[in-house]
Each structure stands twice: as C-alpha cells, then as structure tokens.
C-alpha cells in the first residue's frame, strides 16, 4: 500500500511536470521511457529464452524467435536499428517485477493476456496486441484417423497432472458429453513417452508446445495436431502501465506489422512500396501508413517512418510467423487463429488513420 501511495505521488508529480512541459513546449508529449531508451541507445527486452520458436539462442549467440522479432521490430521503430536490443532471460515469477522495476522496457515473453495481469488492481501491465493466439490442443498419430476432439470419445488421453491442461480437457470433454480415460503423468517427458509407446491415442497441452515436442519425435510426420483449440492462451507483449506514450509506441509498432501483412507489404518489397507511395499522391492511405505524409509517428512518439523501419528489420507479421513457428521453421505450426482477419483469422489491426 505504502508503495502504491508513493507511486501515485510520484506519478502525479511526473504528470504535473509533464503538464508544465506541455505549457511551454506546445504539444510535445513526453515519455520518460522513450527518452530513457533513446538516451541509452538500446532497448532492454525481457524474453523467455528457452522456448523453441519464440525465443532461443542460436549457435552464434544471437537470439531468434517470434517474441525476439517483436523486440527487434520495436528497437528498429524506436532507435532505427533492430540490433540495439539487450535481451534478458526472465523466469515466470520475476517477469512482472522486472517490468515494474524498470529493469526491462518491454516484456515479450509468451505472456498470456488476462484480466488480472492487465488490471491496475492486479499486475497493472499495459498489453500490446496479441501476437500469438495459442491454446490447448491435442496431438494424435496420423494413422489413428481421428480428426476432431469428438473422435476421442471413449479413448485414453495422456495429460500432465496438476496443470490447467488437465482441467481444460476435463471441462471440454464434459461439455461434449464424451467419456474418456485420462492417463496422468507427473512430468512432460513421461507424458510424451507414454504417448509414443501407444498407451494413449492423444496427448494434450498448448499447441505450440505440442508442435515443439513433435519435432523431437522419431517420426514427426506420423503425428498431427487436431484443429480444435480447447482453451484460450492469447500471448501478447506488455509494457508497464504508467507510460501511455511508450505503450502506444509498442502497440502501434505491432499493429504496423499486422497491417503490413494485410496490405501485402513485405520485408523485400517495402522499399518499392515507399517509392510508389512517394511517387503517387493519390495513395493517401499507403502514404500515411508508411510515413510519407501525416504525423502518425509523432503521435506515438516515434519517427514518421517507424513502420517502415520495423518492416525492414523483421518483415510483416506473416513473415515473422512463418519464419519462426510456421512453415519456414521446424515447428510447422498452422496459422490457424493467427491468420489475418481477411483469411478468417483473428489478426486484425485497427486502421492507421
């Protein structure tokens, strides 16, 4: 409580100073965090560090993954260089403290967007758009011929005990009025070993994990993920709640990656698109999006071409997805819910207007 009061006091002081600043410097929105990052010349990004496809360390010591690319895109948008990122591996228990204490500027660590994490009365984070709609899925041997959860009625299913996966599975099967035999194991290794021995016809956990585990199987092609998703795990980057301008900068950088996919702008053709926008004053939408005209960048505290910088660094959302977890990776995850809304998915950017 004491901390909260102090925080409020500090915030009101900062607000008062900011207002004072506004009076003298017309319209110049101030963000402490942005100023800090620009002054430091480096973005500090909290990642998981050991999650295949999302963040891991390559043999040459560089980080790679979907979460990592979000960090790089943000660094490119803010600082103009996707390599000016310092990655911090964070564990689940310290991630929010690290963000709140300012040790990391941005948390891009497969964090599920929930009420208690977003609420000021909870962890008080400010979430950027969801970058990966994960969810609990089921994997079955291709040879079993099962194509949906319904088909698992009356069959044994392997699950790790004490996890939310176990509860979600029970809820879902009760809903479907499908009896099943749960085979519960203490560790994930035991669970997959039992599945591979054929003691159960399906194994369940988050879909991204299933896909990662599958690549370690003796014969990965013989197993498929069912299309059904039985729980919601929307993973989103997060910033601390007290700095709206910084949160906006991150949010719209991520939206920019999604919007670019919708507009068909990729890492390779972005320069051509910019040239086209510059040459043609009638393409007002494109010109504003790419920062050729308008002040969208300024409104979120960034340079006018922040989207172009991010795209040049990591490509659009679809490219990031395919490269790290999709068809271009060993995980071979289907886009599923992570398709653009135009293709029936949930990836949807509000208009850049």
Partner 1 sequence: MDPRLKSPSRLARLRRDLFGTPLDGAITIALLAALGAGAQALLNWALSRADWAVIQANSTLLAVGRYPMAQQWRLWLLTGLLCSATGASWGLLRRRSWPRNDRIAAGLLLAMALVVPAALELGLDVRARWWAIAGLLLLARWAAGRWSHRLPLICQKLWPLAWPGLYVLGLGLIGGGLGLQPVRTSQWGGLLLTLIEASFAIVLCFPLGIALALGRRSELPLLRWGSTIYIEFIRGAPLITLLFLGQNILGFLLPGGLAPDRVWRAAWVLTFFAAAYVAEAVRAGLTALPRGQVEAARSLGLNSLQTVLHVVLPQALRVALPATVGQFITLLQDTTLLSLIGLLDLLGTARAIMANPDFLGRNAEVYLVLAVLFWCCCAALGLGCRALEHRLNRHSSTASR
Complex with partner 1: residue 217 or 348, whichever CB lies closer? 217
State the minimum distance, in angstroms, from the CB of residue 212 to partner 1.
6
Q: How far apart are the first and last CA of the chain?
A: 41
State the minimum distance, in angstroms, from the CB of residue 44 to partner 1.
9
Complex with partner 1: residue 102 or 264, whichever CB lies closer? 102
For residue 112, the 8-state DSSP code is B
Taking CA 318 as the corner, what is the angle to CA 313 and CA 323, rounded to the nearest 5 degrees? 70
Chain residues binding partner 1 by CB under 8 A are: 3, 49-53, 55-59, 61-62, 86-91, 93-94, 97-98, 100-103, 212, 215-217, 329-331
Q: Number of C-alpha atoms within 13 angstroms, CB side, residue 15?
A: 9
State the minimum distance, in angstroms, from the CB of residue 216 to partner 1.
3
Phi then psi for 161, rounded to 5 degrees?
A: -80, 155
Contact 194, 182 (CB under 8 A): no
Token pair of 137 as six digits = 């899925």
State the minimum distance, in angstroms, from the CB of residue 200 to partner 1.
20
- State the alpha helices, DSSP H only, in 158-305: 164-175, 188-196, 207-214, 244-263, 270-279, 284-289, 296-299
Complex with partner 1: residue 48 or 126, whichever CB lies closer? 48
State the minimum distance, in angstroms, from the CB of residue 337 to partner 1.
21
Q: Which residues contact 314 (CB under 8 A, 6 or more apart)?
A: 69, 72, 73, 76, 82, 257, 267, 320
DSSP states along 324-349: HTSTTSSS----GGGSBGGGTSSB-P
Complex with partner 1: residue 88 or 276, whichever CB lies closer? 88
Give which of 253, 284, 286 is closest to 270, Cα–Cα: 286
Complex with partner 1: residue 273 or 323, whichever CB lies closer? 323
Complex with partner 1: residue 68 or 302, whichever CB lies closer? 68
With H, G, I as helix, E, B as strand and everything else as coil, classify residue 156. strand
State the minimum distance, in angstroms, from the CB of residue 278 to partner 1.
39
State the minimum distance, in angstroms, from the CB of residue 93 to partner 1.
7
Complex with partner 1: residue 243 or 305, whichever CB lies closer? 243
State the minimum distance, in angstroms, from the CB of residue 56 to partner 1.
4
With H, G, I as helix, E, B as strand and everything else as coil, classify residue 297. helix
CA separation for the pair 324, 328 (Å, rounded): 7
CA separation for the pair 121, 87 (Å, rounded): 28
Q: Which residues contact 322 (CB under 8 A, 6 or more apart)?
A: 328, 329
Complex with partner 1: residue 65 or 318, whichever CB lies closer? 65
Complex with partner 1: residue 101 or 148, whichever CB lies closer? 101
Contact 32, 243 (CB under 8 A): yes
State the minimum distance, in angstroms, from the CB of residue 237 to partner 1.
17
């Amino acid at each position: 409580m004491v901390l909260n009061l102090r925080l409020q006091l500090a915030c009101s002081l900062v607000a008062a100073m900011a207002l004072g600043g506004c009076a003298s410097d017309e319209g110049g929105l101030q963000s402490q965090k942005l100023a800090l990052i620009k002054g430091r010349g480096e973005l500090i990004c909290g990642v998981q560090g050991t999650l295949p496809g999302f963040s891991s360390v390559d043999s040459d010591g560089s980080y790679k993954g979907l979460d990592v690319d979000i960090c790089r895109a943000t660094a490119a948008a803010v600082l103009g260089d996707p390599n000016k990122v310092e990655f911090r591996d964070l564990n689940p228990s310290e991630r929010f403290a690290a963000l709140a204490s300012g040790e990391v500027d941005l948390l891009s660590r497969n964090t599920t967007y929930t009420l208690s994490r977003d609420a000021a009365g909870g962890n008080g984070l400010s979430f950027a758009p969801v970058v990966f709609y994960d969810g609990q899925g089921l994997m079955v041997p291709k040879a079993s011929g099962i194509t949906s959860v319904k088909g698992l009625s009356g069959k044994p299913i392997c699950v790790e005990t004490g996890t939310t996966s176990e509860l979600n599975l029970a809820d879902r099967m009760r809903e479907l009025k499908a009896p099943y035999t749960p085979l519960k194991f203490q560790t994930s290794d035991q669970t997959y070993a039992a599945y591979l021995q054929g003691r159960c016809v399906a194994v369940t956990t988050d879909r991204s994990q299933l896909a990662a585990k599958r690549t370690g199987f003796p014969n990965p092609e013989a197993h498929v993920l069912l299309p059904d998703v039985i729980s919601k795990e929307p993973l989103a980057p997060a910033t601390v709640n007290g700095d709206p301008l910084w949160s906006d900068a991150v949010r719209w950088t991520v939206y920019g990656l999604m919007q670019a996919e919708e507009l068909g702008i990729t890492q390779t053709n972005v320069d051509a698109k910019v040239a086209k926008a510059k040459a043609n004053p009638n393409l007002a939408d494109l010109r504003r999006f790419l920062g050729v005209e308008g002040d969208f960048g300024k409104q979120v505290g960034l340079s006018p071409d922040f989207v172009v910088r991010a795209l040049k660094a990591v490509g659009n959302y679809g490219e990031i997805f395919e490269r790290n977890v999709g068809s271009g990776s060993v995980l071979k995850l289907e886009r599923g819910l992570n398709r653009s809304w135009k293709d029936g998915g949930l990836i949807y950017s509000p208009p850049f207007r």
